[in-house]
Amino acid sequence: GQSLEQPSEVTAVEGAIVQINCTYQTSGFYGLSWYQQHDGGAPTFLSYNALDGLEETGRFSSFLSRSDSYGYLLLQELQMKDSASYFCAVHYGGATNKLIFGTGTLLAVQP
Amino acid sequence: GAGVSQSPSNKVTEKGKDVELRCDPISGHTALYWYRQRLGQGLEFLIYFQGNSAPDKSGLPSDRFSAERTGESVSTLTIQRTQQEDSAVYLCASSEGAYQPQHFGDGTRLSIL
């Protein structure tokens, strides 16, 4: 089957850097995505890694190591508005584009 | 253009009733997905449509759940004989194609009394 593990909660202060880890076990892995979801809102796409290495998008970076079945999301220069849940999601399924989501990491940014 | 639109935004119904949820994807997006999110949980895949291919229904939890999509347009998710465990937010997403970012609607919050 498929499973993903990520920490349930992380707390950090404004201006800091935080890393949210994600480990996965799945067959037919095609890539790892990260989504942000504010309380009561829709998930929004942050990044996608299909190959090993680091992808940078502004203050957010995402890393993937396929050999280690591991990835992380790095948030720099944290702002209060970054307080949200962050989900890693594995793309798998061959011809289909199913996403299997982790249970999410609740990030609390404190002043 | 407009994002993914879902309706209704909220639905309260009695146990045993049927409900129909609607999703309007982003124009031109060939792929459409339905997910379920229970309170405090991650997203649970339900069904995936890609163009005119047969849908991937592997995530539907029971035969009370069904979904349709005509071409690359609107999709409806139907839950028959609703049960209290069906209470959740039902999210729809669309993407330009396989392995492209998925864009989510705001969801339908379904409450079964």
* Tokens of residue A86, six digits: 């962050």
**Which residue in B has a C-alpha nearest to residue A47's C-alpha?**
B101
- Kindly tell me if the per-residue pLDDT of A27 is higher than 90: no
- Kindly tell me if the per-residue pLDDT of A26 is higher than 90: no
Q: What is the pLDDT of residue B101?
A: 86
Strand residue runs (E) in A50-102: 53-57, 60-65, 70-75, 84-92, 98-101
Pick B54 or A70 by higher pLDDT. A70
Which residues are within 8 A (CB) of B106 and not within 5 positions of it... i.e. 6 or more apart? A41, A42, B6, B9
The interface residues of chain B toward chain A in range 71-110, judged by CB-CB distance below 8 A, are: 91, 93, 95, 97-107
Up-side HSE of residue B2: CA atoms within 13 Å toward CB?
Answer: 9
In contact, B108 and B57? CB cutoff 8 Å: no
- Is the CB of B28 inside 8 Å of chain A's CB atoms? no
Nearest to B110 by CA among B26, B57, B30, B46: B46
- Is the CB of B43 inside 8 Å of chain A's CB atoms? yes
Pick A13 or B97 by higher pLDDT. A13
Per-residue pLDDT, averaged over B59-87, amounts to: 94
Which residues are within 8 A (CB) of B63 and not within 5 positions of it... i.e. 6 or more apart? none
Tens of pLDDT, residues A54-66 = 999 899 999 999 9
Q: How far apart are CA A6 and CA A33, in angstroms?
A: 13
Tens of pLDDT, residues B14-26 = 999 999 999 999 9
